[in-house]
Amino acid sequence: MTTETPADLARAAATVIAEHTGTETHDIALVLGSGWGQTADLIGDTVATVENTTVPGFAGAAVAGHTGTMRSVEISGSGKRALVFGTRTHYYEGRGVRAVVHAVRSAAAAGCRTVVLTNGCGGLNPEWAPGTPVLISDHINLTGESPIEGANFVDLTDLYTPRLRDLAREVDPSLDEGVYVQFRGPHYETPAEVRMAKILGGDLVGMSTTLEAIAAREAGMEVLGVSLVTNPAAGISETPLSHEEVLEAGRAAAQRCGTLLAQIIGRM
């Protein structure tokens, strides 16, 4: 009987990633969430594209519009290498927490010391129009899960590295920051749940990121989290959202978000 640990699987993935990309180590990992798909093209030249299904532990894309590939990108300016994941496994897919954080662990095994986690989410601040990027300052994990296995009491103070948030604000001083609340999903919140999130100290509601951030910290990585507010959270806006408006806001924001992240990553 073999008992493959998550670390074994991450090492196996890193070996295959190195083979397929022709690069022994990567420096920065980037996970692209809803609305962030353009970013990879803007941070530099793609050196290799790898189908997720060819890498141990990875599955194809589960959400339409996400791509089931990862790319090795030479970052313009710094010459560092980014490992860009075009999609993520969400907790609500039911494949377990190990699957959710496998990309982050694989990136750590591939040499990445920094991970940039992006997502699309709902905003609690009515001033955040659809298409507003917001830095994640901290999180509240409402999944009831941890990616850590065993008695490893990882400190999450400053989980979202202050130095990287400062760097982001040097690029764009107008960036707001907020506390990201992860719900299980896949349904959106009720207005009462959004009010609860606000009472708890939340600013953003979403269905990803927190478990990945914890796994990254366990692996000793620095974390930058950036949310794209694509809609006011349920009950925040008086008028029901027009899906078309949200889509349009996303399209309009894509260029700004991609450029912003490319500039931040170029300075890392």
Q: Which residue, 148 or 188, has its beta carbon nearer to ligand 8IG?
A: 188
Taking the complex as a whole, the smallest distance from the CB of residue 252 to ligand 8IG amounts, in Å, to 15
Residue number, 207 or 214, with CB nearest to ligand 8IG: 207
Which 21-60 residues touch ligand 8IG, going by CB under 6 A? 34
Token pair of 103 as six digits: 């990309």
**Catalytic residue positions, numbered:** 189
What does each C-alpha distance from 125 to 33, 104, 121, 142, 175 come to in angstroms?
A: 21, 29, 12, 20, 14
Q: Could you tell me the two tokens for 83?
A: 């490992």
Q: Radius of gyration (Cα) for the chain, nearest Å?
A: 18
Identify which of 35, 22, 4, 41 has the alpha carbon closest to the alpha carbon of residue 262: 41
Q: Which of 185, 195, 256, 263 binds ligand 8IG (CB under 6 A)?
A: 185
As measured in angstroms, the least distance from the Cβ of 136 to ligand 8IG is: 14
Identify any residues that bridge with 138 across adjacent strands, giving them in sequence order.
179
Distance of CA 53 to the CA centre of its chain: 20
Nearer to ligand 8IG, 207 or 268 (CB): 207
Closer to ligand 8IG by Cβ: residue 68 or 188 = 188
CB of 233 to ligand 8IG, least distance (A): 5
Instruction: State the Cα–Cα distance between residues 264 and 86, nearest whole angstrom.
Output: 18
State the number of binding residues for ligand 8IG (CB under 6 A): 14
Query: Per CB under 6 A, does 235 bind ligand 8IG?
Result: no
Pick from 27, 138, 189, 203 the residue near ligand 8IG by CB under 6 A: 189
Query: Is residue 120 part of the contact set for ligand 8IG (CB under 6 A)?
Result: yes
| 176 CB-near residues (< 8 Å, 6+ apart) | 125, 128, 132, 134, 135
**Which residues would be at the binding site for ligand 8IG (CB under 6 A)?**
34, 120-122, 183, 185, 188-189, 205-207, 230-231, 233
